[in-house]
Chains A and B, each alone.
Chain A
């Protein structure tokens, strides 16, 4: 029996396949590129080619696109990223006390005590210091994102970069770069600034105890990891599957739910061949003017999102 976890994030869509012992058999990382439905389908295509005849016993969906993904694939568990990340980390190590998770648009800190989430915080309004900002800077400096962190490690001195706001940070970087500072030093400065910002903003008032896990796409960045180690004076552990931890966690949750229910809602890997269409319209029945999204699979209406009163979303549940 296999279990599937789907994490539809702002930047990437991750799929993982776990076996009976919760070992990752397959992980697929796809850029979401603004179309979560297509990303999920692309992932399913890859899975279908490789594992056409396997039995999937439970499925979970997480990430900011979890609701649309859940309708699409028929998920057993739909859980937010925080719980999913915590579940995955605890599966690896029961001793984890702090999880630093930085993704494309979100950064969070999760505090665990005795194997349970006791507190968490997320970035408030702005996404400064998250993956997409680093992505953009790498692009601007013409450095492949995979090597971005290594640059920081080659520097001996950090140039101070303003970290409070991405806009400030970027103009500060440009000013320093035009003054002739070394690229590596600027990148290290940026890593330090992002970590400083994270600890002051997201991590404010939280007791960061070891073991500290660093998860999410940004954990690939060695520069940020080292900056965290320097700032905290603690060893930071980046788990092997750091970039798909959310998907792993929700696959485990999907297994739990499916076992409890005695069956799975999974619609099968053939989904890859379905034709999905999404139409959005503004409901004009009241002054709320909800933007409703209608999801259509092979000309069959499978779900609606975005209405406040439940008139549209409940209609599909009844079908």
Chain B
């Protein structure tokens, strides 16, 4: 069995560690690129959201590299993502490409028995014992957590770094080096090393950089290709960014969901404007915006794919939040366009706006 999984930010690094640990062959699809998007749009329903199209491109490019099984987290969720797995299985049947799907849904939706059955389809290919397999899983989760930590730190320090571009360079070489290892233990050592390196980046504490929260639909904010690398751009501008939704957050949130104790802080902050879950991460998005304001951010950028229902709802709530709290929020809609001029203009103008507000009495003290 040669497993592959669609891209989502840095998850492929953790996935590689997991399958290295299990001793199962794992095919990383080529990093998201225009060809993947093109192939994805060719086969996908025209009105489908962007993540779906990119994923299809990932699968096709992974099949070309020899993959025969897709591993996909499901959600049975009340947004289109919940239907991705079924639709994608159908699609591959129609276009006559052989590929198996293993969908990991939460036990609340499919029952614990079915979940174990599905996990077993993967784990029976591993030569390692149950304990060894469990260890590999824990290590992979740890890797993902460290990666998210490193990313968060780099995005934060980019606003304070003395040598501009240092954080971005470290972040990029960290990912490259981590991938070059061939067992989870080595990878963790590499990552810990980079964490220390980031701690030693020379910073100018006297600086007061613009701070922007990145909020919106989870795939399009985590996967840089889909948002035209907005976080990298903001790092170049020397802006501090923070994104709460990360792969580690998602895992924690999904595990805690049955207990209803997930993301309490976000829910509490969203309550004033949106007290109900409306699908996707609409409520979380509102909570993040309010929280960003409370934590003294200058503004927030919301990113979502064209036609994303939950985010359309939160977008329509933002003018109220903006007005009541004097907190600028800009919405960016992403789709198949890869021309960046318009996108860059908006981001640049937004940063400009935040800078000018600060200089003026209008800004919050």
Q: Which residues of A are interface residues toward B (Cβ below 8 A)?
A: 64-65, 79-83, 105-106, 113-114, 116-122, 124-125, 204-207, 286-289, 308-310
Answer yes or no: B42 CB below 8 A from chain A CBs. Answer: no
Max chain A CB contacts within 10 Å: which of B320, B332, B345? B345
A-B contact pairs, 11 of them (CB 8 A): A64-B341, A82-B352, A82-B353, A106-B342, A114-B362, A116-B356, A118-B362, A205-B323, A206-B319, A289-B35, A308-B232
Please measure, in the bound complex, the distance between the C-alpha atom of A64 and the C-alpha atom of B341, giving whole angstroms.
6
Contacts of B349 in A (CB 8 A): 80-83, 120, 122
Nearest CB in chain B to that of A86: its residue: B356
Docked-complex contact A204 and B333, CB < 8 angstroms: no
A117 near B353 (CB under 8 angstroms)? Answer: yes
Bound form: Cα–Cα A300–B218 in Å: 45
Q: Which of B17-25, B26-34, B100-108, B116-124 contacts A (4 or more CB under 8 A)?
A: B26-34
**Quick check: B33 and A287 within 8 Å, CB to CB?**
yes
A120/B341 contact (C-beta < 8 A), A205-B323, A289-B33 known:
no
**B353 touching A119, Cβ below 8 Å:** yes
Nearest-neighbour CB distance to chain A for B349, whole angstroms, equals 4
Whether B306 and A125, one on each chain, are in contact in the complex, defined by CB atoms closer than 8 angstroms, is: yes
Contacts of B31 in A (CB 8 A): 286-288
Are A80 and B352 CB-contacts (below 8 A) given A64-B341, A64-B345, A124-B332? yes
- Is B365 in the interface zone, CB < 8 Å from A? no
Identify the closest chain B residue to A124 (Cβ). B333
Residue in chain B with minimal CB distance to A116 = B360
Q: Is B272 an interface residue (CB 8 A)?
A: no
Structural contact, A308 and B360, CB atoms closer than 8 A: no
B359 / chain A contacts, CB cutoff of 8 Å:
116
Distance between A118 CB and nearest chain B CB, rounded to angstroms: 6
CB pair B352–A125 under 8 Å, yes or no, is no
Contact A113 B362 (CB under 8 A): yes
The chain B residue with its CB closest to the CB of A108 is B349
Additional 16 contacts, C-beta under 8 A, given A83-B356, A122-B345: A79-B352, A80-B348, A80-B349, A83-B349, A114-B362, A117-B352, A117-B353, A117-B357, A119-B322, A119-B353, A125-B335, A204-B316, A205-B319, A287-B33, A288-B33, A308-B229
| Chain B residues, Cβ within 8 Å of A286 | 31
Chain B residues, Cβ within 8 Å of A81: 345, 349
Contact A289 B361, CB 8 Å, known A80-B345, A83-B349, A119-B353: no
Closest beta carbon of chain A to B289's beta carbon, Å: 14
In the complex, chain B residues whose CB is within 8 Å of the CB of A125? 306, 333, 335, 337
Give the shortest distance, in Å, between B353 (CB) and chain A (any CB).
5
B residues in contact with A106, CB < 8 Å: 342, 345
Is the CB of B126 closer than 8 A to any CB of chain A?
no
Closest chain A CB from B1 CB (angstroms): 24
Residues of chain A within 8 A of B330, CB atoms compared: 121
How many chain-B residues does the 8 Å CB contact rule pick out? Answer: 38
B interface, over-half SS: helix
Residue-wise interface mask of B (323-365) relative to A, using a CB-CB cutoff of 8 A (1 in contact, 0 not):
1000010111101010001100110111011001101111000
Contact assessment for B356 and A117 in the assembled complex, using a CB-CB cutoff below 8 Å: yes
Q: Which residues of B contact A79 (CB under 8 A)?
A: 352
Q: B residues within 8 A CB of A114?
A: 360-362
User: Chain B, 193-216, contact with A by CB distance < 8 Å: what is the 0/1 string?
Assistant: 000000000000000000000000
Known: A80-B352, A83-B352, A308-B229. A116 touches B357 (CB 8 A): yes
Please tell me which one of the listed residues B34, B323, B352 contacts residue A289 in the complex, with CB atoms under 8 A apart: B34
Residues on B with C-beta less than 8 A from A65 are 341
With both beta carbons as reference points, the residue of chain A lying nearest to B347 in the complex is identified as: A80
Q: How far is the CB of A291 from chain B (nearest CB, A)?
A: 8
Give bound CA distance, A202 to B331, whole Å. Answer: 11
Once the chains are docked, how many angstroms separate the CA of A310 from the CA of B349?
Answer: 22
In the bound complex, residues from chain A placing their C-beta under 8 Å from that of B357 are: 116-118
Q: How far is the CA of A119 from the CA of B356 in the complex (A)?
A: 10
Given A80-B345, A124-B333, A204 and B319 contact (CB-CB distance below 8 Å)? yes
Residues on the A chain within 8 Å of B331, using CB: 124
Task: Provide the residues of chain B in CB contact with A117, threshold 8 Å.
Answer: 352-353, 356-357
Taken together as a complex, chains A and B put the C-alpha atoms of A308 and B344 apart, in Å, by: 13
- Taking CB atoms, residues of chain B closer than 8 Å to A120 are 349-350, 353
Least Cβ distance of A64 to chain B in Å? Answer: 4
Given the complex of chains A and B, what is the CA–CA distance between A310 and B165 in angstroms? 10
In the assembly, what is the distance between CA of A287 and CA of B320, in Å?
A: 42
- Give the docked Cα–Cα distance between A81 and B353 (Å): 12
Chain B residues with Cβ below 8 Å from A82 are 345, 349, 352-353
Nearest chain B residue, comparing its CB with the CB of A119 = B328
**A287: B residues at CB distance < 8 A:** 30-31, 33
CB-CB < 8 A to B341: which residues of A?
Answer: 64-65
Question: What is the CA–CA distance of A180 and B15 in the complex, to the nearest angstrom?
Answer: 64
Closest residue of chain B to A306 (Cβ to Cβ) is B340
Q: List, in ascending order, chain B residues with CB within 8 A of A122's CB.
A: 345-346, 349
- Please determine whether B345 and A105 come into contact, CB atoms closer than 8 angstroms: no
Complex CA–CA separation, A105 to B345 (angstroms) = 13
Q: Which 5 A-B pairs have the closest CB atoms?
A: A205-B319, A82-B349, A287-B31, A80-B349, A64-B341
- Residues of chain B with a CB closer than 8 A to A207's CB: 323
Cβ contacts under 8 Å, B350 to chain A: 120
**How many Å lie between the Cα of A117 and that of B330 in the bound state?**
14
Chain B 189-246 interface residues, beta-carbon cutoff 8 Å to A: 229, 232
Residues of A within 8 A of B356 (CB): 83, 116-117
B352 nearest in chain A by CB position? A83
Question: Which residues does chain B contribute within 8 Å of A205, judged by CB atoms?
Answer: 318-320, 322-323
- With CB as the reference atom, state the residue of chain A lying closest to B33: A289
B161 to chain A, nearest CB (A): 15
Given the complex, which residues of B lie within 8 Å of A124, measured CB to CB? 331-333
Kindly provide the distance from the CB of B30 to the nearest chain A CB, expressed in whole angstroms. 5
B225: nearest residue on chain A (CB-CB)? Answer: A288
Smallest distance from the beta carbon of A152 to chain B beta carbons, Å?
28
* Chain B min CB distance to A261 (Å): 19
Most chain A C-beta atoms within 10 Å of own C-beta, residue among B331, B342, B356:
B342
Minimal Cβ-Cβ distance residue in A for B361: A114
